Amino acid sequence: MDKITNALNGKKANIGYIVGGYPSVEHTKEFLANLDASCLDLLEIGIPYSDPLADGKVITKASFSATQRGLNTDSIFEILSECKGRFNKPVVFLVYFNLVFAYGIENFIKKAKECGVSGMIVPDLPSEESGEVFAICQSENFALIPLISVTSGERIGEILSRASGFVYAVGAIGVSGSKRASTERLKELVKNAKNFTDLPVCVGFGVRNRDDANEVKSYADGAIIGTAIVELTDKFSGKELINEIAKLY
């Protein structure tokens, strides 16, 4: 968790997302080997899942493709274990709760830490049901990164009472890759969140290119790009992929 704080402190952060093991295990390993040379300050790795309810068609297709090739939670742990020591920038999981629960919450978090992961985003874990997970994360110094949106309303304070690492402000009303909500609504969302937390508030969903990233960084602490990066992983790899990602921020 301290790694996240150090990486995001005092800057407008660039955060990216990939699907672990997509389009291949070797592709992900090569990406991690080049992570420190990238423009990214933090990387989210999605653990492949057959029913990724928060994701649009691009990420859903990538995740399904990975699961069809047999990739699972242990596969992603193996990739990260093999790559440990090859990068220093913080990595967090985006993972659906069923995968965490099936593994055992405490076991999952401890294994993730062993692999060099600093925290996790769990899109389908309501704040009202996150008490046990948050307590374990706190005891393990592992970030539980919350999601808030323009529809969170009066629940924002409650959601952010169990938050660590940073705050993921969902910039679209819908799944990843959807059209971003209005600037006015997102500015108000970030401002409201700042009333309840000192954590960085970063905006994702609907952020696809440099213009989008610069706009959200004018009022938020960072920009999160997922779908556009996953699209690039179909076309590029290694240092060429890193160069292409730099054009998005």
Active-site positions?
44, 55
Alpha helical stretches, state H, 84-220: 97-103, 105-114, 131-139, 156-160, 183-194, 210-217
d(CA 95, CA 123): 7
Q: Among 14, 18, 36, which residue's Cα sits nearest to residue 27?
A: 18
Contacts of 247 (CB under 8 A, 6+ apart): 210
C-alpha distances in Å from residue 207, one per residue of 10, 39, 178: 21, 16, 9
Cβ atoms 4, 143 nearer than 8 A: yes
Residue 230 CA, chain-centre distance (Å), reads 13
